[in-house]
Amino acid sequence: MTGKGTACMEPIDKCLSDPINYVRDEWGDFYCPKCDDGFTWAYTEEDDEQIGACTECEEAIPNCLKCDFHGTCRKCATGTFLSLDKKQCAD
């Protein structure tokens, strides 16, 4: 077992990092520090619980065509503009 306690973890779908490199979030849950290209780490509400996963850019950030793994949009769809915090594409 490793010092981070990830030796028995299943790999996260669309995550480029091995489980040994997963990082703990503010709630103590592990998350993927680097998702596949075109994906970002995002949380969704499911049965009153926050579930994290590598999520396609446009699903995590509506109208975002390209994002990084920190939930920051790098390219918005035509007709939308990137907000100052780079977390959404607005009309």
pLDDT at 3: 47
Mean pLDDT confidence for 50-58: 89
Q: What angle do CA 34, 35, 41 make, to 5 degrees?
A: 95
Q: Is the pLDDT of residue 2 over 80?
A: no
Looking from the CA of 1 toward its CB, the CA atoms found within 13 Å total 6
Task: Quickly count: other Cβ atoms within 10 Å of residue 76's Cβ.
Answer: 21
Q: Is the separation of the CB atoms in 74 and 67 below 8 Å?
A: yes
Q: Kindly report, residue by residue over 13-40, the tens digit of the pLDDT.
A: 999 988 888 988 888 888 898 999 889 9
pLDDT at 80: 95
pTM above 0.85, yes or no: no
Q: What is the mean pLDDT of the chain?
A: 85
Q: Using the Cα atoms of residue 33, residue 15, residue 58 and residue 60 in order, give the sign of their dihedral.
A: negative
